Amino acid sequence: MNLNILVLPGDGIGLEVTREAVRVLRVVAEKWNHQLTLREGLLGGIAIHKTGGPFPAETERLSREADAVLMGAVGLPEFDNFAPEKRPERGLLGIRKTMGVYANLRPVRSYKALLDSSPLKNHLVDGVDMVIVRELTGGLYYGSPRGIYEDAASSGVEGEDATPEIHAVNTMAYSWSEIERVTRMAFELARKRRRKVTSVDKSNVLEVSQLWRRVVTTVAPDYPDVALDHLLVDNCAMQLVLNPKRFDVVVMENMFGDILSDEGAVLAGSIGMLPSASIGAKKASGAWTGLYEPVHGSAPDIAGQNKANPFGAIGSVAAMLEYSFGLTEEAASVNRAMETVLNTGRVTADLRPSGTPATTEEAGEAVCQAI
């Protein structure tokens, strides 16, 4: 099979973890006799430096042509005070919209070798295995109107003495169809797992969440073999800490998913462990269009020091092989190799190994050897 992949290393540690993920891809391609076509593009802060914008037209073109996209991380502190449309993160929103990837799948799994790396007690974490399904192209991050503006009239003083009041607004908006498609993806995933879906909303306060719950409840009878329950987002945040093993597939809107999936990272021992797959429409082959990236950020404080955990990026490669290319055997081999390396303790410092921590490169090489 020809694996046509666009690589977007991005910023900070993105370059380092992506380098190891690509090494794993090369080993898989060689072992299973696949042809690997890799092209590299710019996204985020590095794209701003080189082209003036976070999502250059060339990257947009390449993303449309690729079978799948592997991304590192986006964001640099020097852009923190820039207008939202000029920050590196706007490149993320742009590529997600371009590719039409509407569901972000974030698996959260505990490994025996990492139970002591989680701040939670072992008996709470041991056996955790869930997938958080985050709607990715709607909600507050895309809604309109949005912005920061001044309004003199709102200060309550008229005439020459009026002083402008500064306001900010973001709009959370969803349509029935946007909610339905991500809900159906959650139910389809649950059918291949433990057949339980938990839908998360804030329907006691938000009209958008009331629609969300209505849609999910309407879709559920089409999947009579899958159990459904609903949780308010604040209760879900608590249950992720108190009773994380109760979850199988958890589906939620964009911002809730952004926040709660990072909470889920604690269960795995480190945010550096978490991969993600952003999935869109199915192709004629039955494979999904996909954008794959570790959940962690660009971590500029450790960039260039060869100490970042590459497992989130490598796990994203496993997800890519499974979802975008249908290569389940190859994907399983990558996941088994990561677990093998975890059991040896040859891991980076964030996982608190008993011996000398491995470098990013050493951890990646160990996975390649295990494959």
In tens, the pLDDT along 162-215 reads: 678 999 999 999 999 999 999 999 999 999 999 999 999 999 999 999 999 999
Q: Which of 213, 240, 267 is the last residue of a domain?
A: 267
Q: Are residues 262 and 278 in the same domain?
A: no
Percent pLDDT > 70 in the chain is 96
* Residues 122-155 pLDDT 10s: 999 999 999 999 999 999 998 999 999 888 666 5
Q: Would you state the pLDDT for residue 266?
A: 81
Strands (E), the chain: 2-10, 35-40, 68-73, 103-109, 129-135, 147-151, 165-169, 196-201, 227-232, 249-252, 275-282, 288-294
| Single-letter code of the amino acid located at 234 | D
Instruction: Give the pLDDT band of residue 83 (cuts 50, 70, 90).
Output: confident
The C-alpha angle 149, 153, 154, rounded to 5 degrees, equals 70
Tell me the three state secondary structure of residue 307: coil
What is the per-residue pLDDT for 60?
96
Residue 138 belongs to a domain:
no
Domain membership flag for residue 139: no
Omega before 300 cis (within 30°)?
A: no
CATH number at residue 127: 3.40.50.2300
pLDDT of residue 159 exceeding 90: no
The answer to whether residue 96 is domain-embedded is yes
Residue 213 lies in a domain: yes
Domain match, 37 and 154 both: no
Catalytic residue, chosen from 11, 67, 111, 141, is 141
Indicate the number of domains in the chain.
3
Q: Are 100 and 187 found together in one domain?
A: no
Residue 236 makes CB contacts below 8 A (sequence gap 6+) with 198, 200, 250, 252, 256, 260
Q: Report the residue count for the chain.
A: 371
| Closest listed residue to residue 220, CA positions, set 252, 180, 262 | 180
Pick from 267, 289, 317: which residue ends a domain? 267
Tell me which of 111, 174, 202, 323 is the catalytic residue.
Answer: 202
Pick the catalytic residue from 116, 151, 229, 234.
Answer: 234
Task: Kindly state whether residues 166 and 206 are assigned to the same domain.
Answer: no
Asked whether residue 275 falls in the same domain as residue 370, the answer is yes
- Bridge partners of 107? 131
Indicate whether 45 belongs to any domain: yes
Beta bridge partners of 197: 228, 249
Q: Among all chains, which residue has been given the structure tokens 């952003």?
A: 278
Please give the full DSSP string across 194-232, using - where no structure is assigned. Answer: TSEEEEEE-TTT-HHHHHHHHHHHHHGGG-TTSEEEEEE
* 128/88 same-domain check: no
Is 262 a known active-site residue? yes
* Helix axis angle, 233-242 to 254-267, nearest 10°: 10
Residues 181, 182, 188, 194, CA torsion sign: negative
Residues 214, 281: one domain?
no
Looking at the structure, tell me whether residues 200 and 178 fall in a common domain: yes
In a domain, 114, yes or no: no
* Three-class DSSP category at 44: coil
Same domain, residue pair 97 and 203: no
What domain range includes position 180?
A: 119-133+174-267
> For residue 113, is it within any domain?
no
Beta bridge partners of 61: none
Of the residues 11, 67, 258, 350, only one is catalytic, namely 258
| Lowest-confidence segment of 37-41, 299-303, 349-353 by average pLDDT | 349-353
Determine which helix (DSSP H) or strand (DSSP E) holds 122, and give its type and residue range: helix 122-125
Mean pLDDT of the chain: 93
Whether 141 is a known active-site residue: answer: yes
**pLDDT > 90: what percent of the chain?**
78
Q: Which residues contact 224 (CB under 8 A, 6 or more apart)?
A: none
Q: Are residues 68 and 156 in the same domain?
A: no
Say which residues have a Cβ less than 8 Å from residue 251's Cβ, sequence separation at least 6.
133, 135, 182, 183, 186, 197, 198, 199, 200, 216
Answer yes or no: do 161 and 275 share one domain.
no
pLDDT of residue 287: 67
Beta carbons within 8 Å of 305's beta carbon, 6+ residues apart: none
Let me know if 258 is a catalytic residue: yes
Q: Are 103 and 123 contained in the same domain?
A: no
Domain boundary among 212, 242, 267: 267
The CATH number of the domain holding residue 91 is: 3.40.718.10
- Tell me, yes or no, whether 205 lies in a domain: yes
